Structure 1
Amino acid sequence: MLFNSYEFIFAFWPITFIAYFLLNRFCPPVVGKLWLAAASLFFYSWWSIKSLPLILGSIAFNYLMGRLIGHSGSKSPKIRRLLLTAGISGNVLLLGYYKYADFLITNVNSLFAAHIKLLELALPLGISFFTFTQIAYLVDAYRGSAKEYSIVNYVLFVTFYPHLIAGPILHHKEMMPQFDRVRSKQIIPGNVARGFFVFCIGLFKKVIIADTLAPIATQGFDVSTQLSLVDAWSTSLAYTLQLYFDFSGYSDMAIGIALLFNIKLPINFNSPYKAVSIQDFWRRWHMTLSRFLKDYIYIPLGGNRKGKVRTYFNLVATFLIGGIWHGAGWTFIIWGLLHGIAQVVQRLWGKTGITLPRWSGWLITFLFVNFSWVFFRAKTMEDAMKVFHGMFNFQNIGLVLNLDLIGKLLMIGATFTIAVLARNSMEMKLHFKPNLKYAAYIAALFVFSILYFNQVSEFLYFTF
């Protein structure tokens, strides 16, 4: 089930909301949690019920490992580390089997002229996100900062449907206390208004902006065999903007939906295309993934505590793992490697003492991010090289003005301006007031988005 669908907006969401607060009013608190957990599993199964046993098995495994780790405090550190290693290994193997098995087989076949048959496994929905969420839980249990003794609570933590498919990546310690607050058991009108406001902004981003940019990127990456200078830059910029408005739109909708249940999800985007350095970009882009990579990969590898060379290695290794997490393909590996190298280059540049004007820092960062997204989007290396060749093909500028090109350039220019200059949704939420002005604004966003439901499209990160 998609957030941008009639069945979700007009049936599933209102039914789960009303039933949850009615149960909280007339039944013990655990009943409301049980309802929300069951509804979340139904939401997940709507897309593919075949994946339901997988997520339930993953939940059971991690709940059991978390309990074992939590109760092993009095045992030797070696046993606790062994339990943590077993838990993380189980999650990584599950993710690796479904997401990377065919990639490995393809490369083995290519290197050794083998003929191993591909498994052709369907990627379970949201597996990357619920796997990372549960790895974080196991590590927190090992560190003593997360303990969960209720299976209902744990299932709800993992499956809470606003974040289940594409994040944000959550921490147990920041989520479950919110479900247990007495005040959260009743409808809070202010949260309902703010939540619906943020949801409508996200819906507009996805349906009106991202889905309008999508055909431009698709034409350039997947259809055209060669691109002129203008076509190539339109293609890369369209995808750069599509990805931002699509994924940040999902995050806004997730935050808005959760707020109606009085749950505050962490912010996942903070105007990343306003970043003035690559480090600044990763403080603003997919912020919960950046937090995960830092806390559970970079720091455990040694962070910056073991000298400069090791720090640089840890940075590259962390972003390389981040690239691999995003997808099984050399293009994702290159994308992650580029961002890791960029982190090292920024630190080396900082040692020169040379300070660039703020505008040039922004321009270099944006151009680098835009170039790297080409690898992220391209299905093959050939597709990526096709776009890059066009971006520097000054012999074929391709500036033949017609209505199609003018509309394309205006759309890219308008959305670029919004991404770079306008306030983001979280900044707008801070200024939100439940009055007639904002009510009209919400109504306009909602009605316009609903009328634009000419086709229900998936979110880009559903396939990661």
Structure 2
Amino acid sequence: MLFPTFVFGAFFVVVFVVNWLTRPHPAVWRPLMLAASVVFYGWWSWRFVFLLLATIVINWVVGHYAAASLRASDTAIPRVGTTARWWVGLGVAANLTILGVFKYWDFFAVEMSNLLERFGISNALPVLEYTLPVGISFYTFQAMSYIIDIGRGNVREMAPLDFAVYLSFFPQLVAGPIVRASEMAPQLAARPDPRHVPAAEAFGLILNGLFKKVVISSFLASEIVDGVFADPGSHSGPEVALAVYAYAVQIYADFSGYTDIAIGVALLLGFRFPQNFDNPYRALTLQDFWRRWHMTLSRWLRDYLYVPLGGNRKGRANTYRNLMIVMLLGGLWHGSTWNFVIWGGIHGVVLAVERLVREQRERSGAPPILPPGWGEVVRWLVTFHVVCLAWVFFRSESLSAAVEMLGALANFGSYAGTATPLVIAVTFGALAFQFMPADWFEGLRDGFAGLGWVAQGAVVGVSLVAIDVLGPTGVAPFIYFQF
């Protein structure tokens, strides 16, 4: 993590108290919240604080001039619409350049070098070997959504300090969710009273996130996932299959756990973030999976890439092309290796096939192949295993490692002892939990909210101790910090 647990706890208490004291005074609150976010980010690396601040300045200036151009259009000045689009294009190019240099340049340089060497050409492109700035993909996408929405007339220009707080707000700075200006700006302007926040909901989210990360994700990583993916040939096929299922649970528990913590912390500070996960492993189609998994990224890719490319409005072939482009770029967003491209390609191909089959069946009016109930089971099994197949490439260190992992599924050698009853129970129990009724969770939340503050404090304290006891020694950083 960015902080050791006790340091982060102390940091948040200080920020919460400062928020409580200064929130009614925006002239004081905004600089202090910006400072807190800079300290939070700087704890990882002070060098990249300047990159974050530069991103804030560049995008606010671009947004300011794009908004000014649109305001000028009301006075019938010629070509102002073109000027606004020019500013938006400049801003998008600047953001992609920053992201490209720090995240993709070395990948491009190495691949170009390998390609040219096949033709006997020496490649002069340098390998920069930069450390990837944590969270750069998240805050860059937020910045682009702001300037694009200004160009579309969907949001108003934000004041400089408001925009700085929006882009650097520490709960979601390093791993999302991707919050849009249209969602954050009204809350910054409203200045909710920090004495009246949904504390029970917030603490419930934070505890749930900690349990998923510290207990579920870390346990599965240490007990089976890391070992099997490091050396799949030493494990039997059933153990390898279980490790793939366990990784599906691990990455969900890890990423949704961080999101729960971020949303809960933001709630305590008076802000409500959009939901980012909705039981994705209960999806019956891959399209439904992407409506439930990393929902803020899915909507970003839809609104700022898929729809501008033409969406499904320009014929079947273009629709399939657009799906592939979006998913391949979505894979690259996660990382600059061919494994992520293949991961996105698998999703793109299956999404296109799903759409093709659905359209053909709708045109032909063909009845369901399987009786009611069985059809849903088969669709769930297919969808879940497609997702797990793609996770193998997502998790593996290289393409050869992914191929080795898949090949080890047919390994009928000796049992290595990693598929313990507890690992099996945690993996499949976590998957079964996806199908729990929403009313059950709402009942728990309402019951916790109905307790007095002393009882709530006791529940939180006991829960934190239980999480600490159940979790393994040493907790790995959140997986999505690397993106």
Q: Which bin holds the TM-score, normalised by the shorter protein?
A: over 0.9
1:104 paired to 2:111: no
Provide the C-alpha distance between the structure 1 equivalents of 2:16 and 2:245, rounded to a whole number of angstroms: 38
| Aligned-residue offset at 1:22 | 0.7
2:322 corresponds to: 314
Equivalences for 1:358-437 in 2 at 5 Å? 358-393=376-411, 395-396=412-413, 398-399=414-415, 405-421=420-436, 423=438, 431=446, 433-436=448-451
Structural RMSD (CA): 2.2
Provide the C-alpha distance between the structure 1 equivalents of 2:302 and 2:441, rounded to a whole number of angstroms: 23
Equivalences for 1:60-75 in 2 at 5 Å? 60-73=57-70, 74=73, 75=79
Provide the C-alpha distance between the structure 2 equivalents of 1:328 and 1:334, rounded to a whole number of angstroms: 11
In the superposition, relative to structure 1, how do residues 426 and 31 fare at CA in structure 2: closer, same or farther (>3 Å)? farther
Equivalent position SS for 1:390:
helix
Q: C-alpha deviations, 1:116-162, integer Å up to 9, x for none?
A: 54211100010000000000001101011222342110010001111
282, 288, 294: which is aligned to 1:280? Answer: 288
Would the aligned equivalents of 2:242 and 2:419 in 1 still touch at CA under 8 Å?
Answer: no
Provide the C-alpha distance between the structure 1 equivalents of 2:457 and 2:56, rounded to a whole number of angstroms: 40
Provide the C-alpha distance between the structure 2 equivalents of 1:435 and 1:382, rounded to a whole number of angstroms: 54
201, 205, 210: which is aligned to 2:208? Answer: 201
- 1:8 alignment partner AA: F
| Aligned-residue offset at 1:419 | 3.6
Equivalences for 1:73-222 in 2 at 5 Å? 73=70, 74=73, 75-113=79-117, 114=122, 116=124, 117-182=126-191, 184-188=192-196, 191-215=198-222, 216-222=224-230
Provide the C-alpha distance between the structure 1 equivalents of 2:392 and 2:478, rounded to a whole number of angstroms: 18
| Aligned-residue offset at 1:448 | 1.5
Alignment coverage as a number of residue pairs: 456
Would the aligned equivalents of 1:187 and 1:261 in 2 still touch at CA under 8 Å?
Answer: no
2:252 corresponds to: 244
2:33 corresponds to: 36
Equivalent position SS for 2:43:
helix
- 1:6 alignment partner AA: F
2:76 corresponds to: none
Which stretch shows the higher mean deviation, 273-282 or 348-357? 348-357
Provide the C-alpha distance between the structure 2 equivalents of 1:383 and 1:417, rounded to a whole number of angstroms: 29
- 2:89 alignment partner AA: T
- 2:188 alignment partner AA: F
- 1:416 alignment partner AA: L
| Aligned-residue offset at 1:30 | 2.5
In the superposition, relative to structure 1, how do residues 388 and 453 fare at CA in structure 2: closer, same or farther (>3 Å)? closer
Q: Which runs of 5+ in 1 are unaligned?
A: none
Provide the C-alpha distance between the structure 2 equivalents of 1:89 and 1:291, rounded to a whole number of angstroms: 21
Q: Which runs of 5+ in 2 are unaligned?
A: 74-78
Provide the C-alpha distance between the structure 1 equivalents of 2:441 and 2:288, rounded to a whole number of angstroms: 18
Provide the C-alpha distance between the structure 2 equivalents of 1:193 and 1:367, rounded to a whole number of angstroms: 36
Provide TM-score, normalisation by structure 1. 0.93
Provide the C-alpha distance between the structure 1 equivalents of 2:28 and 2:178, rounded to a whole number of angstroms: 25
Provide the C-alpha distance between the structure 2 equivalents of 1:426 and 1:248, rounded to a whole number of angstroms: 16
Provide the C-alpha distance between the structure 2 equivalents of 1:282 and 1:8, rounded to a whole number of angstroms: 32
| Aligned-residue offset at 1:24 | 2.7
Provide TM-score, normalisation by structure 2. 0.89
Q: C-alpha deviations, 1:88-140, integer Å up to 9, x for none?
A: 01101110111111111111121122465421110001000000000000110
Equivalent position SS for 1:47:
coil
Would the aligned equivalents of 1:198 and 1:425 in 2 still touch at CA under 8 Å?
Answer: no
Identity %: 36
Which stretch shows the higher mean deviation, 340-349 or 433-442? 433-442
Would the aligned equivalents of 1:67 and 1:147 in 2 still touch at CA under 8 Å?
Answer: no
